[in-house]
Amino acid sequence: MVLGLSLPAFTMLHVIISLIAIVSGLVVMFGLLGSKPMPGLTAIFLLFTILTSVTGFLFPFKELLPSHMVGILSLVLLAIACIALYGVKLSGAWRPIYVVTAMTSLYLNVFVLIIQSFLKVPALAALAPAVPPAPPSGPVFAVVQGIVLVFFVLVIIGAWRRFRPMAFA
């Protein structure tokens, strides 16, 4: 039991929270490219991405795992993004800091989604077998993760250059 839920029910809640974070984050990402701030959706993205990392720590575990390290990194990036956005209102150097930290935390969420997809979806698992506790591996998995990484690097650079909101409040 986690938070009064069975482990499968809590896992489903965590997955739903993660998917909300990813979908809202992708919309926010394209908003950044168009210099559209989207304050409401950005708040949803940040909140649900924080919840994704926090709920990830509530699963039973015996040792610190790579997923926990990703969660810690994501929470640090999200704290910086929230300070940049809500604390200093994207002034000066905080605008690119926000873009990089928020979008990198989105990338980390997508990175984990891909790993989990290759672990849980039988057709994908067949393409990149994993021997627990190791993550999936092999050329198909590496190519997918590589394409996603290159996509996010290019989008983050594009958002860094283009995102110039008149006001965010």
Q: Encode pLDDT of 88-101 as tens digits.
A: 999 999 999 999 99
- What single-letter amino acid sits at 74? S
Please write the tens of the pLDDT for every residue from 107-157: 999 999 999 999 889 888 888 877 766 778 888 999 999 999 999 999 999
The average pLDDT across 163-167 equals 77
Backbone torsions φ then ψ of 2, nearest 5 degrees = -130, 120
CA distance 14 to 55: 6
CA distance 96 to 84: 9
Look at the pTM and tell me if it is higher than 0.85: yes
Tokens of 39: 């304050």
84, pLDDT greater than 90: yes
Closest alpha carbon to 158 in 34, 39, 42: 34
CA distance 115 to 108: 11
Beta-bridge partners for 5 = 2
Closest alpha carbon to 133 in 86, 74, 68, 58: 68
Contact 41, 31 (CB under 8 A): yes
